[in-house]
Structure 1
């Protein structure tokens, strides 16, 4: 059993169970404590002592134990003495350092606490406070603190090092901290596996080959209205997808398929989208429109730069905070025509419509004969 499950079984706190497991030489299963793993066990400290006597390097010891080199280096720096590294003494010292309750730096230093409270009352951020203290008191380490320590003093229950009402002075005004998953904790976004941007053909990147599209939604008030946008990377030609009732995965699938299937086959190279829930049926878009779908990395809108720029241009016609469901299909077509009729510097002052017409009139497009 994992140490947490075993602790619940015998009726002790999970942290106590974890310590017992370490003291008995047990190991916590990999992955339960994140990529850094648990604290060093007694067996690992004995192994460190043996390998150090054998004159192994820090990195070699780390590889042997499956640990980060900084963990081994820190362990030796803390516990090595003139007599050498003693695993029994080192393990005892680690237990003493881990003892609770332990007062934090802010709670044990009235000057630091007052300085932080003064900064928060002036609506400074914890990072601004920490950096200013280091600049104003470079030779006074008692007043040096990281911004993360301040956040923990505000949000972590039981510490009570700063008044809870000071959270109102933060820009977010949150009384509770918003959790953020680490990259290794991310869950699979869709049932069907995504094909990421890194697997997209290299020919798409330089815009030399036409037929590769970027897509997204622009959202209106009250977050229930939306318009789909599709932009061809080579010509900047734009198509708008009418979504009058909803913008869930089914509606987006039907709208994108209906728009893409009006195009010649040689202009159905690929579609790049972000990881929004509206693309939950991306595998059906791929099959029905014969169009490979690629996904951007989380929080990376620049990977669809052409589409982001186009969405900004569209806000001239569809302002933020308005109900987008009020625009009929023919109005969307008119707006798309206006956008496709604008000369673009990136196209040598041709319009997207002219660039697409010239492309379709060419005897060959991407090595495939076309029909004007």
Structure 2
């Protein structure tokens, strides 16, 4: 008997192909890219593995019902008609997250309220008592998605966003989202076969995600819990098998991963996070000004960084980005240098031609992930101003 079912992994804009590739590599079936999501099929064990291992997913949803809905009364009756006792008890808690793209339903909070009313009324009518709503830490997260007049009801198997890996307890002023960092690394082609540098490492997110990719360590191995662990049908033994099997696929890494930051407080925070992630053997962090540094190896170097761009950190944009270009040209031959920035004007001051440009979003800020290939020796002269 086939125990596979459809699931949906939500992600960030521009990461759909990366997530689809991750899912196929994990063994998912019927993988199909959407907009900020990828649908796939798998069984309960695969759902556990997806939450544990996917680097570019922010949620894994399990659709349980889909239906046409005319208005709010129709929504109430169809939600009421579902078998909620299969998922909830009167003594458990739940929370509802609603997303609407519809002319009929225009307020997500109102939709959430109608769904909540239908569920609690069903329990009150059947058992004389009702489950409670707990927005902070529910036993069951319910996702309602209405597109036009089609409603899909899903269970949230992840709980808090999967970018919350569990290793980052200390952050700097402008930390980068862990899923965004992992996706940037995968977009950059990072595969752990060279040395790696983040010359403005902040709280160390790129360094940690780079080490986890290089060593094939499951992305969410440090998380304390997933929402599916509170489900009625949760199988602890199966989860333990999946977790151990995923850990057994880790590998050794024989290059250097190094981070610089000129702020002592950032260096302290980054070291603390690296230690939390259990990666101190693979990552070293130094207090150093990138603009006064030189490449630490004669071998090829993979550089990825999230430099300040004036949104939350005040800098002289022209001077700062000009210094990035000068430092790369003068001191970093044989380097693939990737930067993400939301200040597209600032890129003009780098003075190097980009070999790649990828549109992404850092939070709500439209950003560009750009690559500068710094060649060895005479090829350095081939660079032109933008």
Short-chain TM bin = under 0.3
Give the TM-score normalised by the residue count of structure 1. Answer: 0.24
In terms of fraction of residues, the more helix-rich structure is 1
Larger C-alpha radius of gyration, 1 or 2?
A: 1
The structure whose residues are more often strand, as a share, is: 2
TM-score normalised according to structure 2 size: 0.23
